[in-house]
């Protein structure tokens, strides 16, 4: 794309003074870098992804309050992790992390295991055990 065609659409990233670096062709046919403030299709995709993440967080919180899952799942979603990432951070097998999602298993976890989760989520054990309703 030519330098003057680099998209400068409004985006959520613009408010954070974020610019994306793009490659463009100048008047001499040379490749150069040019800053872009946004591109509408990318903004729509980003907004959709953020909306889906927020829905997953809210769903996990409702399931914790209903006693269907443990707070570990909620905090995992809140920190935009999946089971594999969380398992690697806490040093447990993925199947163990999934097992810790069961409220009955979560209630029996030792302080040592809870502290690993709390450290990863940067919260106290008390906060981990009692999410605000």
Cβ atoms within 10 Å, residue 113: 18
- Same domain flag for 117 and 54: yes
Identify the domain containing residue 59 by its residue range: 42-129
**pLDDT(14) > 60:** no
94 and 118 together in one domain: yes
Alpha carbon distance 114, 70 (integer Å): 12
Beta bridge partners, 33, equal 23
Q: What is the pLDDT of residue 5?
A: 65
Q: Which of 54, 48, 60, 43 is nearest to 7 (CA)?
A: 43
The reply to whether 89 and 113 lie within a common domain is: yes
Does residue 60 contact residue 74 with C-beta atoms inside 8 Å? yes
pLDDT at 12: 61
| Global pTM value | 0.74
82/111 same-domain check: yes
Task: List the one residue out of 42, 44, 23, 26 whose CA is nearest residue 34.
Answer: 23
Q: For 45-54, what is each residue's pLDDT tens digit?
A: 888 988 999 9
How many domains would you assign to the chain?
A: 2
The pLDDT tens digits for 50-95 are 899 999 999 999 999 999 999 999 999 999 999 999 999 999 999 9
């Amino acid at each position: 794309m030519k330098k003057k065609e680099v998209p400068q659409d409004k985006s959520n990233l613009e408010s954070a003074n974020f610019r994306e670096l793009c490659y463009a062709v100048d008047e001499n046919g040379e490749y150069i870098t040019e800053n872009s403030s946004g591109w509408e299709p990318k903004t729509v995709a980003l907004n959709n992804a953020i909306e889906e993440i927020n829905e997953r967080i809210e769903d996990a919180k409702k399931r914790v309050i209903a006693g269907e899952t443990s707070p570990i799942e909620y905090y995992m979603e809140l920190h935009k992790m999946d089971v594999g990432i969380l398992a690697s951070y806490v040093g447990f097998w993925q199947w163990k992390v999934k097992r810790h999602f069961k409220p009955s298993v979560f209630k029996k976890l030792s302080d040592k295991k809870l502290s690993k989760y709390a450290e990863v989520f940067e919260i106290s054990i008390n906060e981990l055990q009692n999410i605000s309703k």
